[in-house]
Amino acid sequence: MMEVTDYSAELYVAGRFANAGWNVYFPHRDEGFDFIISKFVEGKGEIIRPVQVKGKYPTEGRSNTPVYGYVGKLSKTHLDMVLAMPYFSLHAPENPVFVAYCPLSIIKPHSRGHRCQPAMYKEECPVKRPAFKKFFDEEGLKLIESVKWGDTSKD
């Protein structure tokens, strides 16, 4: 089985941003955000977003669950941040099944820090939760260009 690390998840997500026309800037030190993205959007100007990446890697024997995502501490938060979560599967661990791009508005407080669970886990595979569909893949990348990104709700 191929070992996938958070660093490879960060690079995968950075590549998705670059392919969508975003500039990607990596910090000299990992003290919060994994990277910063910027893009000039006609009629909106230069958009800048800090990004944290939290890869989701299922383990053998994981049971079905109606919510699946990140629960834990975020080293930093920002009103315009993106929490990017590439979801991997047991059957093809080298590339994510999909990527969720989540604004701070759908990241909630939790006893362990924060929680953001836009997917579910069913039959050994991550599945997008319908209420969060707009935050995934190309649709999610496009939504990040909104000037109201930080206030975007799931509904």
Task: Check whether 5 has a pLDDT greater than 80.
Answer: no
Q: Sheet with 98-103: list strands edge to edge.
A: 23-25, 35-41, 45-53, 82-87, 98-103
State what percent of residues in the chain have pLDDT above 70: 96
Let me know if residue 1 belongs to a domain: no
Let me know if residue 31 belongs to a domain: yes
Rounded mean pLDDT, 33-51: 97
Let me know if residue 105 belongs to a domain: yes
Let me know if residue 155 belongs to a domain: no
Let me know if residue 153 belongs to a domain: no
- Could you give the CA distance from residue 107 to residue 122 in angstroms, rounded to a whole number? 22
- Could you give the CA distance from residue 32 to residue 77 in angstroms, rounded to a whole number? 8
Q: What is the pTM of this model?
A: 0.94
Let me know if residue 79 belongs to a domain: yes
Q: What is the pLDDT of residues 96-152, one digit of tens each?
A: 999 999 999 999 999 999 999 999 999 889 999 999 999 999 999 999 999 999 998
Burial of 4 (C-beta count, 10 Å sphere; 0-12/13-18/19+): middle
Let me know if residue 125 belongs to a domain: yes
pLDDT at 3: 57
Let me know if residue 132 belongs to a domain: yes
Task: Check whether 84 has a pLDDT greater than 70.
Answer: yes
| CA distances to 49, 79, 107, 134 from 153, in Å | 17, 13, 10, 10
Rounded mean pLDDT, 19-33: 92
What total number of domains does the chain contain? 1
Task: Check whether 13 has a pLDDT greater than 50.
Answer: yes
Which residues span the domain enclosing 37? Answer: 6-148
CATH number at residue 69: 3.40.1350.10
Rounded mean pLDDT, 56-77: 93
Closest Cα partner for 17 from 4, 30, 34, 1?
A: 34
Structural contact between residues 122 and 64, judged by C-beta atoms closer than 8 angstroms: yes
